[in-house]
């Protein structure tokens, strides 16, 4: 590599490094804000310090009080449990339904397959926002409004996840399935024991995608949820920014807790997630 190249690369790297720091700055700020008292929130950009010297941090001014109050006074655990319940149930259902559907489309030929695939492709083009009104009306007729069902069940149909499963199941050799059939394995047994086992990475990717979408969902829960005890985390936090504007540290603490689970899950499923995303891109 020539000197000119090296210099260019070092320059670019420094730039990217700087950009990375800027990208992470909000997280640092968020963490700092969640352990500051109200009076210090805008007094100091990051941590409370002594006069002009930002490194001379006054550690004793930091407090976990915000986190404590979040749970003791605001009953934050209730919303956290709601979110956990809704997101994890929805994730399980999406994996189950879309993998079964994907299996049928990948490994069988049957009447109506083309019609079904076409309908699904068309539905993928249409933004879900069009469906908000009619779905609201439908759930009203079912008597499901303001319930977990209203969040979980319409959310458990994912055409995208089904196509991803179909995609990865196509690569499971048919000979393997036929061999199992000869051995007397049931069709469901083939699906569960052979195909799903082979598609574990895809399951990982879909778990993360679904969980993330469900955990962060705002528009739909905002429309269907009525009572406070059913709120999920984005709903309660969106309200807290107006209700507790004078105690913003608490809102910041709530935000820290809310973005945490998805990050942990991402750490565990990084590889599968990226793989899954890319196979989605290749298909399109």
Partner 1 sequence: MDERFPFGTILLVFMLTALASGLTLFDRESTDDSRVLTVASFAKIHLLSYEPLLQQFEAEHPGVKVKLELVESRALTQRVFSSFMSGVPGPDVVEIEITHIGRFFSGPLESIGFVDLTDRLHQSGLYDEFVPAKFQAWSNRGRIFGLPRDISPVALLYQPEAFAESGIDPQSIETWDDFYEAGKKLTRDLDGDGLIDQYAIELSDTISDDFHILLLQRGLDYFTPEYKPRLEEDIFIDTLAMYLKMAAGPDRIGAPLPNLVASAQAIRDRYIVSHLGADWRLGGFRMETPALAGLLRLMPLPAWEPGGRRTSTWGGTMMGICKSSPMQKEAWDFLKMIYTSREALLTTYRYTALTPPARFTWDAPEFDQPDPFIGGQKSGRFFIKLAPDVPARVKNPFSYMADQTMHQVIVRSCRRVHEEGYDRVRIIAAEELHRAAKHIEQRMERNPFL
Partner 2 sequence: MPDSIPQKRHKSPIIPYRLRRRLAPYGFLSPFLLLFAVFLIYPLIRSILMAFTQSYGPQATVFVGLENFKFLFKDSQFWRAFVNTVYFAIGAVSIQLPLSLFLALILNQRIPGRNLLRFAFFVPYLVGPVFVGIIFTLFYTPRYGLFNQTIDFLFGFGLDTRWLTNEYLVMPAIIIAATWTIVGFYMIFFLAALQSIRKELLEAAEVDGAGTLRRLWHITLPGIKPVTVFILVTSTIGAFKLFELPYILLKQNSGPNDSALTIVMYLFQTGFESGDLGYASAIGWVLVAFVVAVSYAQIRLTRTFREDA
Backbone angles phi, psi at 254, to 5 degrees: -60, -40
Residue 46 or 244 with smaller CB distance to partner 1:
244
Q: How far is Cα 12 from Cα 97, in angstroms, rounded to an integer?
A: 46
268 binds, options partner 2, partner 1, none, Cβ within 5 to 8 A by partner type: partner 1
Nearer Cβ to partner 2, position 62 or 132? 132
Select the binding partner of residue 133 from partner 1, partner 2, none (C-beta < 5 to 8 A, by kind): partner 2
- Gap between the Cα atoms of 32 and 112, Å rounded: 57
Please tell me what DSSP assigns to residue 73: T
Q: Where are the alpha helices (DSSP H) in 3-112?
A: 3-34, 38-41, 65-72, 76-107
Give the tokens for residue 103: 């299996």
Among 52, 60, 246, 284, binds partner 1 (CB under 8 A): 246
Which residues on adjacent β-strands are paired with residue 7?
none
Least distance from partner 1 to the Cβ atom of residue 123, Å: 25
Our finding on whether 144 is near partner 2 (CB under 8 A) is: no
71: tokens are 């749970």
Selected range binding partner 2 among 50-58, 73-81, 199-207, 259-267, rule: CB under 8 A: 259-267
The entry of partner 2, partner 1, none that residue 115 binds, CB within 5 to 8 Å by partner kind: none
User: Does position 31 bind partner 2 by CB under 8 A?
Assistant: no
User: Which of 82, 168 has the CB closer to partner 1?
Assistant: 82
Q: Which helix (H) or strand (E) holds 49?
A: strand 49-50
| Length of the chain, in residues | 284
Using CB under 8 A as the binding rule, whether residue 235 contacts partner 1 is answered as yes
| Alpha carbon 95 to chain centroid, angstroms | 14
Q: In Å, what is the CA distance from 56 to each residue of 25, 32, 35, 52, 131?
A: 19, 15, 17, 9, 55
Contacts to partner 1 by CB under 8 A: 39, 41-43, 81-82, 84-85, 88-89, 91-92, 95, 136, 140, 145-146, 148, 192-193, 196-197, 200, 203-204, 207, 211, 222-223, 225-228, 235, 238-240, 242-246, 248, 268-269
């Amino acid at each position: 590599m020539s000197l000119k190249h090296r210099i260019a690369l070092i320059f670019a790297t420094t730039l990217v490094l700087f950009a990375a720091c800027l990208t992470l700055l909000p997280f640092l700020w968020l963490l700092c804000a969640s352990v500051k008292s109200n009076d210090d929130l805008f007094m100091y950009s990051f941590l409370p310090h002594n006069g002009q010297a930002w490194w001379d941090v006054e550690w004793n001014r930091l407090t976990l009080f915000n986190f404590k109050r979040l749970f003791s006074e605001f009953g934050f655990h209730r919303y956290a449990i709601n979110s956990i319940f809704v997101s994890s149930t929805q994730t399980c259902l999406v994996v189950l339904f879309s993998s079964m559907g994907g299996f049928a489309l990948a490994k069988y030929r049957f009447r109506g397959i083309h019609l079904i695939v076409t309908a699904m492709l068309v539905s993928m083009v249409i933004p879900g926002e069009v469906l908000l009104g009619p779905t609201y009306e439908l759930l009203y007729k079912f008597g499901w409004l303001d319930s977990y069902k209203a969040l979980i069940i319409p959310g458990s149909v994912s055409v995208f996840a089904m196509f991803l499963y179909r995609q990865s199941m196509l690569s499971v050799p048919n000979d393997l399935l036929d061999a199992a059939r000869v051995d007397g394995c049931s069709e469901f047994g083939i699906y569960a024991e052979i195909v799903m086992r082979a598609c574990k990475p895809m399951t990982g990717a879909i778990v993360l995608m679904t969980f993330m979408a469900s955990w962060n969902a705002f528009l739909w829960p905002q429309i269907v949820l009525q009572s406070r005890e059913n709120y999920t985390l984005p709903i309660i936090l969106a309200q807290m920014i107006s209700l507790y504007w004078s105690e913003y540290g608490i809102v910041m603490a709530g935000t820290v807790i809310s973005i945490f689970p998805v990050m942990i899950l991402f750490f565990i499923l990084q590889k599968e997630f990226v793989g899954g995303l890319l196979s989605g891109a290749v298909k399109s």
